[in-house]
Amino acid sequence: MVTPQLLIFDTHKELYLFGAMFFEHTAQQAVAKRGRFLVALAGGGTPRRLYELLADSSLVSNMPWGQTHVFWGDERCVPPDDAGSNFGQAKAVLLDKVDIPAGNIHPINGTLTPTASAKDYAQTLAKFANEGQAWPRFDLVLLGMGSDGHTASLFPGSDPAGQTPTLAVTANYQDRPANRVTLTPAVFNDAHNTLFLVTGKSKASALQAILQADPNKLQWPAQRIQPKNGKLIWLIDSEAGQHLLETSPK
């Protein structure tokens, strides 16, 4: 099992800057090694600032957008112009502002039923898989975490074991759309690099349990993210990391 690297930042500025530099560096490495960069984006509010930085070409000036293929780790089943659309957010904040070919953007279709959309996205993933595989090894997976310990749309109480690449999910969290599609741990755990972004004090207790308490994957879905052969890095702000600081030696 890979040991996660925990990076705790005093300021959001440093956290997001690190995230943007890591994203660009990972993309360059992937293109050098494999000729393309496959990334799965996260939804929710936390990555928004990262997407803004990635769109700033004075900061991120060597991003190989032409060889980048963008996917999503999960989606809410709403139209792309709905405020709850993960694709819609990334499009508005990032993808419309950079020189990425339209054919390199692979959203989960939020206008279908969750079941139909999950099936449709499994076919999209299969097109990028190596021979004999059902999904690609992502070069980078971005993930967030809810205050209940969910990640992507893997929610407490569900047991998405097995080799199905995508799942239809219905789950209520805050006032967000309940019908969703998510990639599964089987796909996430194949990635070369996984970057969690976790900020704010509402996440502190769940984060402490996920990283430092005994495993309980049914209660804490983020514990299901255990790359088989990849890097796992958590970018954490000091509020989200406040309970970790109490128990970890500095």
Using CB under 6 A, list all residues that contact ligand 6PG. Answer: 42-46, 74, 76, 86, 144-146, 150-152, 176
CA distance 116 to 167: 10
Cβ count within 10 A of residue 52? 15
Give the nearest distance from C-beta 99 to ligand 6PG in angstroms. 26
Q: Which is nearer to ligand 6PG, 67 or 74 (CB)?
A: 74
Q: Which is nearer to ligand 6PG, 67 or 221 (CB)?
A: 221
Give the nearest distance from C-beta 221 to ligand 6PG in angstroms. 9
Q: Which is nearer to ligand 6PG, 29 or 115 (CB)?
A: 115
Q: Which is nearer to ligand 6PG, 182 or 193 (CB)?
A: 182
Give the nearest distance from C-beta 136 to ligand 6PG in angstroms. 19
CA distance 30 to 69: 11
Q: Which is nearer to ligand 6PG, 36 or 173 (CB)?
A: 173
Give the nearest distance from C-beta 152 to ligand 6PG in angstroms. 5
Q: Which is nearer to ligand 6PG, 100 or 225 (CB)?
A: 225
Give the nearest distance from C-beta 28 to ligand 6PG in angstroms. 25
* φ, ψ for residue 222, nearest 5 deg: -60, -20
Task: Sheet containing 193-198: give its strands across.
Answer: 5-9, 231-237, 193-198, 140-143, 37-41, 68-72
* φ, ψ for residue 30, nearest 5 deg: -65, -40
Give the nearest distance from C-beta 179 to ligand 6PG in angstroms. 11
Give the nearest distance from C-beta 63 to ligand 6PG in angstroms. 22
Q: Which is nearer to ligand 6PG, 67 or 77 (CB)?
A: 77
